[in-house]
Homo-oligomer: A and B are copies of this chain.
Amino acid sequence: MAGVTLFEVGPRDGLQNESVLLSSEDKVFLVEQLMDAGLTRIEVSSFVSPRWIPQLADAEEVFRQVQRRPGVELSALVPNEKGLERALACQVDAVAVFMSASETHNLKNINKTRVDTYPVLAPVVTAAKAAKKSVRGYVSTAFGCPYEGEVAITEVIEVSMRLFEMGIDELSIGDTIGVAVPTQVEALLAEMEKQGIPLERIALHFHDTRGTAVANAYAGYQAGVRIFDGSIGGMGGCPYAPGASGNVSTEDLRYLFESMGVTTNTHLDKLRDAARWLSQRLQKTLFSHDSQVAHAMTWAEGESEPQ
């Protein structure tokens, strides 16, 4: 079966929800461990205002220190042209812009209506493309909004089309609050195909808050998607439900795919090492099914779990 790419969002999307501040050196070491584990697309940081997200205030420093490797894309989130300038100065390989499918979440998250957001993002995408950077778009709250409830497919399609029209290369569809079920995923992807959006340009970004992330990834794979966002160790949690799971862990996605015979080109031992190290550094138990199993499992006499 066709392989998948696990797109690692832990250092950015995961870390921004963690309260213990990591040093720049630790962040660099994290990214290096993730590259060691075989991950080839890593979102390293965010060039938003340090006032918004103090955890990621050292984006420049992290990019300055991290050793680039051939074949590995290190990207950053940029909210606007100023953020893009900072990112380009750091020689990022790729950038990502973001907005929400639902009006209220967009308003609360970036303080603008959706219609007012497009003119902010369009020049960012244009300038990034002019600088020969590939551009990812994120559409958040695509399956449910913490303020509005279920989000209509037509709204997701509208935002997605606008982002593609701006020139993004790839769109990551986010279940920000972890409410999606497989039938929703299938319905949205079917409508996207109908609208002429090629599914090879789609990534799926699931949260495991209600235990459906792996099921949704499976449905997405069946529909033809081959890029899945994960966070090492499940780092990040759910911003809307403290204590609950957020980003699905990279390891749990890996388990699903590798067990189905779908290669992820990643090394389980090294992913687990990174998750364990992070857990120590963040002084907390990270949530992933894999981490629960890794330490507890007695698989006959030795370790004979699928590697």
With a cutoff of 8 Å between Cβ atoms, the chain B residues found around residue A292 in the complex are 209, 241, 243-245
Knowing A218-B218, A259-B181, A298-B146, say if A211 contacts B252 (CB, 8 Å). yes
- Chain A residues 270 to 307 lying within 8 A of chain B, measured CB to CB, are 288-290, 292-293, 295-300, 304-305
Knowing A149-B304, A215-B256, A218-B219, say if A241 contacts B181 (CB, 8 Å). no
Partner of A183, one of B182, B215, B260, B297: B260
Closest to A257 in B: B181
A3 sits at the interface (CB 8 A): no
Q: Are A179 and B259 in contact (CB under 8 A)?
A: yes
Q: Are A240 and B298 in contact (CB under 8 A)?
A: yes
Q: How far is the CB of A160 from chain B (nearest CB, A)?
A: 22
With a cutoff of 8 Å between Cβ atoms, the chain B residues found around residue A209 in the complex are 289, 292-293
How many copies of this protein are present in the complex?
2
Q: Are B261 and A297 in contact (CB under 8 A)?
A: no
Closest to A252 in B: B211
Complexed CA–CA distance, A89 and B212 (Å): 42
Complexed CA–CA distance, A91 and B255 (Å): 44
Partner of A243, one of B215, B248, B259, B296: B296
With a cutoff of 8 Å between Cβ atoms, the chain B residues found around residue A245 in the complex are 289, 292
Closest to A258 in B: B181
Interface residues on A, range: 35 or more
Knowing A183-B260, A210-B289, A245-B289, say if A146 contacts B215 (CB, 8 Å). no
Pick the most buried of A183, A184, A210, A214: most chain B CB atoms within 10 A of its CB. Answer: A210
Pick the most buried of A211, A214, A288, A298: most chain B CB atoms within 10 A of its CB. Answer: A211
Q: How far is the CB of A218 from chain B (nearest CB, A)?
A: 5
22 A–B contacts, CB within 8 A, in A order: A179-B259, A181-B260, A182-B218, A183-B260, A184-B259, A208-B211, A209-B289, A209-B293, A210-B252, A211-B213, A211-B255, A211-B256, A212-B214, A214-B214, A214-B215, A215-B215, A215-B218, A241-B292, A241-B297, A242-B296, A243-B292, A244-B289
Top-9 shortest CB links A-B: A211-B289, A215-B215, A241-B296, A244-B292, A181-B259, A211-B252, A241-B297, A183-B260, A214-B215
